[in-house]
C-alpha cells in the first residue's frame, strides 16, 4: 500500500503526553483501506522511467577554458590520438590552416601539465583534460605549430607581397624619370619666384611638393572667371608652352596604384617572411638535437621545405631592400626628408602628386573652355587638352516640346495661340506613340480648348454652349469671398 510519510515518535517520556491519554480499545472499520491505498503493480511506462543521472565529470582546467577546448574539438572532428598523430606527421590533409591556428590558441600551460601528470587515472577526466594529456607529450609544441602555419601560408603571402613591391618600384622609377613632371615643376618654380620677387620667399632653388596643393587655394587679383586661382594661371601657362604638360600623369601609369599601397606595411611583411624562415631553420636544429622520435616527421618535412623556399624568400628580401632604397632616394631627389616624424610616407607622396595632376587637368579644361568663349584662343581639337572621362563634364540634350493641332471645327475659326504653334511645328517632328494620352496622343489638354472657345465667345459677344461634365470628386462649397473656401471629398 501507499505509505504515509510522518515523523515518528518513539517512547513517550512522562504521563503528560497526549499519546499516553489515548484509549486502548478503540475499534474502527478498515475493510476498505487496502482497496483505497493499494499501489498499482503494472510495469511503468517509458515516460515514467527516470533517466539515470550522469556521473560527475572531473576537470582540472578552468570550466570556461574546458568548454572552449570542447567546442574546438567538436569542430575539428578528430580523436585526441589522431590529432596528436597529425601534428607529429605534419599531415596537411588531416589538419587545415584554421585548425592549426585554433590548436595554437588552446595550448596547455606548465601548471596545467603538472596537474594532469599528477592525476592517477586520466580516463576519468573530461575530454579537454584527456586532449591535453595527449598533445603535451609533443616536444616544443608551440614553436612547432608556428612553423607549420608559416609553411602553409608562405607561398600565398609571397604572391600577395610581390605585386605590391612591383607597383612601388615602378612608380618610383617612373616619377624619377618623368620629363613632363620635371618641366611642370620648373614652370611653377619660375612663376613662384616671379610672384615673390625680392622677398625672403623669392629666388628659391626649389620648393617642397606639398606646396602644389596650395596653388588652388591662392586666388588671383584680377584673373576673372577665366583664371580665378594660381593653379588656373599655371594651367594657362602650360597650355601656351606645351598642352601635353597638363597630362604629365600619362608618363606615370603606376602612380595612382602606388598611392593605395602602404610601403611600410609591405616592407614589414617582407621582413616577417624572412624572419619566419629563420625561425623554421632554428627549430629544425632544436628538434634534431632532441633525437629521433617514432612517428615524428617534423625534421624531414621542414628540411625539404627550407631547401625549396629559400631562393624565393631571398629574392623577395633583395627586392624589398631595393624598393626601400629607391623610395628613400626618390624622396631625397624631390627635396623631401627621408627619416624622422616630418618625413612623408611614400603612399602620401604618391597621392599628393596624383591629386595635383587631377586638379591641374580640371583647371586646364576650365581655362581652355573659358578662353574659347572669349575668342582669345582658337578652339581646335589640337589645342584643347585631353582630359580623362572622369574629369570631363557631360552635357545633357535639351528636350523638345511637341504640340498637336486641335480638331477642326465647322465655320470660320479665329486664329489662336495653339494654332500658331501648330503652324510652326517642324515636318520631321516625331509622331504620337501608341498608348499615350494628352498632347502625345493628339487630344486636347484639359482646359486649353475651353480657353480658346471662351476667347471667341468674348469677341462675338455670344454665350458659348458648355459641354456637360461629370461632377468632380473634389469641389468647393459654402464659402464667401472674404473667407477661405473649404473643400471636401465627394464620394
Per-residue pLDDT tens over the stretch 87-118: 999 999 999 999 999 999 999 999 999 999 98
Rounded CA gap, 276 and 151, in Å? 9
Contact present, 251 and 173 (Cβ < 8 Å): no
Per-residue pLDDT tens over the stretch 45-56: 555 455 555 556
How many CA atoms, within 13 angstroms, populate the side-chain half-sphere of residue 299? 14
Say if residue 491's pLDDT is above 80.
no
Per-residue pLDDT tens over the stretch 154-209: 999 999 999 999 999 999 999 999 999 999 999 999 999 888 887 888 888 888 89
Which has more pLDDT, 334 or 414? Answer: 334
Contact present, 167 and 327 (Cβ < 8 Å): no
> Would you state the torsion angle of the CA atoms of residues 248, 250, 253, 258, taken in this order, to the nearest 10 degrees?
30
How many CA atoms, within 13 angstroms, populate the side-chain half-sphere of residue 77? 3
Q: What pLDDT is stored for residue 197 in this prediction?
A: 82
Judged on CB neighbours under 10 Å (0-12, 13-18, 19+), 292 is exposed
Q: What percent of the chain has pLDDT over 70?
A: 65
Contact present, 215 and 229 (Cβ < 8 Å): yes
Alpha-carbon distances, residue 441 vs 167, 402, 435, 453 (angstroms): 61, 11, 7, 21
Q: What pLDDT is stored for residue 445 in this prediction?
A: 44
Q: What pLDDT is stored for residue 371 in this prediction?
A: 83
The vertex-297 CA angle with 293 and 299, nearest 5°, equals 90
Say if residue 424's pLDDT is above 60.
no
Say if residue 379's pLDDT is above 70.
no
The mean per-residue pLDDT over the stretch 322-349 comes to 90
Judged on CB neighbours under 10 Å (0-12, 13-18, 19+), 187 is middle
The mean per-residue pLDDT over the stretch 12-21 comes to 60
Q: What pLDDT is stored for residue 174 in this prediction?
A: 96
Q: Give the lowest-confidence range in 312-321, 337-346, 461-470.
A: 461-470
Distance of CA 306 to the CA centre of its chain: 37
Q: What pLDDT is stored for residue 467 in this prediction?
A: 58
The mean per-residue pLDDT over the stretch 256-275 comes to 96
Q: Which domains are delineated in the chain?
A: 63-138 (1.20.58.630), 174-355 (1.20.58.2220)
Q: What pLDDT is stored for residue 423 in this prediction?
A: 45
The strand pair at 474-477 and 486-489 is best described as: antiparallel
The mean per-residue pLDDT over the stretch 264-275 comes to 96
Rounded CA gap, 288 and 293, in Å? 10
Residue 121 pLDDT level (bands cut at 50, 70, 90) = confident
Of 67, 88, 2, residue with least CA distance to 41: 2
Say if residue 447's pLDDT is above 60.
no
Average pLDDT, the chain: 78
Contact present, 465 and 454 (Cβ < 8 Å): no
Which has more pLDDT, 408 or 335? Answer: 335
Rounded CA gap, 468 and 465, in Å? 9
Say if residue 376's pLDDT is above 60.
no
Q: Which long-range contacts (CB under 8 A, 24 or more apart) does 64-68 make?
A: 65/106, 65/128, 66/126, 66/128, 66/129, 68/106
Of 214, 178, 182, 176, residue with least CA distance to 195: 214
The mean per-residue pLDDT over the stretch 274-296 comes to 90
Would you list the DSSP string of 390-411? TTSPP-PPPP----PPPPP-SS
- Sequence-distant (6+) residues with CB within 8 A of 436 are none
Say if residue 9's pLDDT is above 90.
no
Q: Give the lowest-confidence range in 3-12, 405-414, 444-453.
A: 405-414
Distance of CA 399 to the CA centre of its chain: 40
Q: What pLDDT is stored for residue 464 in this prediction?
A: 57
Rounded CA gap, 103 and 146, in Å? 11
Contact present, 133 and 116 (Cβ < 8 Å): yes
Which has more pLDDT, 49 or 62? Answer: 62
Rounded CA gap, 262 and 164, in Å? 9
Alpha-carbon distances, residue 10 vs 6, 7, 165, 224 (angstroms): 12, 10, 96, 120
Amino acid at each position: 500500500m501507499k505509505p504515509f510519510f510522518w515523523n515518528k515518535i518513539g517512547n513517550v517520556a512522562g504521563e503528560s503526553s497526549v499519546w499516553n491519554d489515548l484509549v486502548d480499545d478503540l475499534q474502527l472499520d478498515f475493510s476498505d483501506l487496502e482497496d483505497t491505498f493499494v499501489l498499482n503493480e503494472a510495469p511503468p511506462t517509458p515516460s515514467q522511467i527516470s533517466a539515470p543521472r550522469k556521473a560527475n565529470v572531473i576537470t582540472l582546467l578552468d570550466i570556461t577554458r574546458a568548454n572552449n577546448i570542447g567546442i574546438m574539438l567538436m569542430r575539428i572532428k578528430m580523436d585526441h590520438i589522431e590529432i596528436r598523430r597529425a601534428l607529429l606527421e605534419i599531415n596537411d590533409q588531416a589538419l587545415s590552416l584554421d585548425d592549426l591556428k585554433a590548436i595554437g590558441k588552446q595550448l596547455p600551460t606548465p601548471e596545467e601539465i603538472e596537474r594532469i601528470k599528477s592525476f592517477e587515472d586520466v580516463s576519468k577526466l573530461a575530454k579537454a583534460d584527456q586532449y591535453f594529456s595527449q598533445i603535451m607529450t609533443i616536444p616544443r609544441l608551440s614553436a612547432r605549430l608556428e612553423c607549420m602555419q608559416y609553411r602553409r601560408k608562405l607561398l600565398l603571402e609571397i604572391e600577395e607581397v610581390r605585386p605590391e613591391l612591383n607597383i612601388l618600384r615602378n612608380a618610383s622609377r617612373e616619377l624619377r624619370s618623368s620629363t613632363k613632371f620635371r618641366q611642370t615643376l620648373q614652370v611653377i618654380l619660375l612663376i613662384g619666384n616671379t610672384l615673390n620677387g625680392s622677398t625672403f620667399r623669392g629666388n628659391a632653388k626649389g620648393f617642397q611638393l606639398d606646396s602644389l596643393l596650395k596653388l588652388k587655394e591662392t586666388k588671383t587679383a584680377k584673373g576673372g572667371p577665366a583664371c580665378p586661382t594660381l593653379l588656373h594661371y599655371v594651367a594657362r601657362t602650360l597650355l601656351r608652352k606645351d598642352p601635353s604638360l597638363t597630362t604629365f600623369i600619362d608618363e606615370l601609369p603606376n602612380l595612382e596604384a602606388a598611392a593605395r599601397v602602404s610601403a611600410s606595411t609591405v616592407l614589414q611583411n617582407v621582413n616577417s617572411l624572412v624572419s619566419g624562415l629563420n625561425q623554421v631553420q632554428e627549430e629544425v636544429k632544436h628538434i634534431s638535437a632532441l633525437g629521433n622520435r617514432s612517428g615524428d616527421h617534423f625534421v624531414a618535412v621542414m628540411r625539404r621545405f627550407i631547401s625549396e623556399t629559400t631562393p624565393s624568400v631571398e629574392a623577395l628580401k633583395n627586392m624589398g631592400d631595393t624598393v626601400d632604397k629607391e623610395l628613400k632616394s626618390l624622396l631625397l631627389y624631390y627635396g623631401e626628408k627621408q627619416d624622422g616624424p616630418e618625413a612623408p610616407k611614400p603612399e602620401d607622396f604618391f597621392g599628393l602628386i596624383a591629386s595635383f595632376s587631377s586638379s591641374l587637368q580640371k583647371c586646364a579644361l576650365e581655362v581652355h573652355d573659358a578662353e574659347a568663349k572669349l575668342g582669345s584662343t582658337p578652339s581646335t581639337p589640337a589645342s584643347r587638352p585631353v582630359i580623362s572621362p572622369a574629369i570631363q563634364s557631360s552635357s545633357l540634350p535639351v528636350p523638345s516640346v511637341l504640340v498637336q493641332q486641335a480638331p477642326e471645327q465647322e465655320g470660320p475659326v479665329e486664329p489662336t495661340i495653339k494654332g500658331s504653334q501648330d503652324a510652326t511645328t517642324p515636318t520631321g517632328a516625331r509622331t504620337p506613340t501608341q498608348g499615350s494620352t494628352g498632347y502625345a496622343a493628339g487630344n486636347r489638354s484639359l482646359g486649353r480648348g475651353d480657353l480658346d472657345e471662351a476667347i471667341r465667345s468674348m469677341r462675338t459677344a455670344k454665350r458659348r454652349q458648355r459641354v456637360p461634365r461629370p461632377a468632380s470628386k473634389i469641389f468647393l462649397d459654402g464659402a464667401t469671398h472674404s473667407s477661405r473656401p473649404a473643400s471636401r471629398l465627394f464620394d
